[in-house]
Structure 1
């Protein structure tokens, strides 16, 4: 079984898509399963795929079916696939909206290849990746925009251990790293994480981070 990070790319600009593919295929631990010319093409190929990718990198502005609608469909039909939003418009409204519908990372089209590779690896390892600017957007939007985490539970409903696990998730530690730090088993960490998802009604790990910021459970700082 391959340990490579599998992914697909969707962008209607062929030159950009092929350039991105050329960059990513240089990485030994990356595998591009296929690429798509637009959202409709992406959904068609996903439906026919024998193996689903771990990560889907999709442009937001595409004909037929744009990246926003695609992200909603993927989250509903293929929740195990992690979506990285790609766009020329790196603005607060775009970022907040994509997070609210389930995107786990956000990349500007003028990002460096190094940042793109880092983002993919962080998402594969931790389930999400928000850089300092995206976290700042989330913080700014807490009082002005609901980013999709509508919990019926008070933050005090979380146990001490659940809060500890949540804080370490926000530090972007892996399940095994959290287990080592708290002297518990990885399976126990997964149990706490599942409880956190249920209690907060978050859609994914990225949603837990948003919940923690919104509720003051973690302090937003350059360390995160």
Structure 2
């Protein structure tokens, strides 16, 4: 039986919210626990209902008032760092994608995506913390190149061969247990490798790790 994934939908278009809620009502393992018309409404819900079901994932639009998607993501990452965020927006451009990824969102999906892609993204983010398509990778590389922000390791902080293996498996959306089984390691050893990798590359989470791997040609979706 699939694990139930609790999600929240935040968008200022009422009809779009209703449509998404209806769409997910027919998905067995996804449960919409909250809909909100803007970022402030969602933050108030989280702050005022600490005993309620906290969503595993929030699907967030960018263009909203009085608090837009950028402000909401920053606030959520500050107050609820374990809440994963998927941006669902019509503003699917390299600069917007790049800035959102820098803020720590787990995926960026265009609003014209189909049901299958949405469900796949939600399940992937829930299981591995991140979801990137080939198009996302191309746009991220374009953003990084335009900003000259390619990340480099210092000579004394190079990743070991084992760490490189772990990075590639993380990028392939494997869990710590799956990585441990594949590399014949304990789960705790994999967790230690993951933490050490994050420290070496200066990333805060899996999203940052994947972005680093793509930017430095360690991993490619092709």
Aligned to 2:188: 187
Q: TM-score, normalised by structure 2?
A: 0.92
Return the alpha-carbon distance in structure 2 between the equivalents of residues 181 and 48 of structure 1. Answer: 43
1:165 aligns with 2:166: yes
1:3-53 residue CA offsets vs partner (Å, 9 max, x unmatched): 311111100101101110111121111121111110110111111232321
Q: 1:198 to 1:54 in 2, by over 3 A?
A: same
Question: Which SS does the other structure have where 1:83 is aligned?
Answer: strand
* Cα distance between partner residues in 2 of 1:22 and 1:146: 43
Q: CA deviation at 1:145?
A: 2.2
Match of 1:102 in 2: 104
Counterparts in 2 of 1:179 and 1:87: CA distance versus 1, 3 Å: same
| Residue in 1 that maps onto 2:14 | 14
Matches within 5 A, 1:23-172: 23-49=23-49, 50=51, 51-145=53-147, 153-154=154-155, 156-172=157-173
Q: Which moved more, 1:206-215 or 1:43-52?
A: 43-52
| Structure 2 unpaired stretches of 5+ | none
Distance across 1 between alignment mates of 2:142 and 2:3: 38
Unaligned 5+ segments in structure 1 are: none
Question: What do the CA deviations read for 1:30-83 (whole angstroms, capped 9, x no partner)?
Answer: 121111110110111111232321101000110110011111111111110100
Q: 1:159 Cα shift?
A: 2.2
State the shift of 1:142 in Å. Answer: 2.6
Any idea what the Cα deviations from partners look like across 1:72-120, whole Å, max 9, x if unmatched?
1111111101000011111111111111111110111111011111110
Length, aligned pairs only:
219
Aligned-residue Cα RMSD (Å) equals: 1.9
Deviation at 1:154, TM superposition (A): 4.9
Q: Does residue 202 of structure 1 match 2:203?
A: yes
8 Å CA contact retained: 1:107, 1:116 = yes
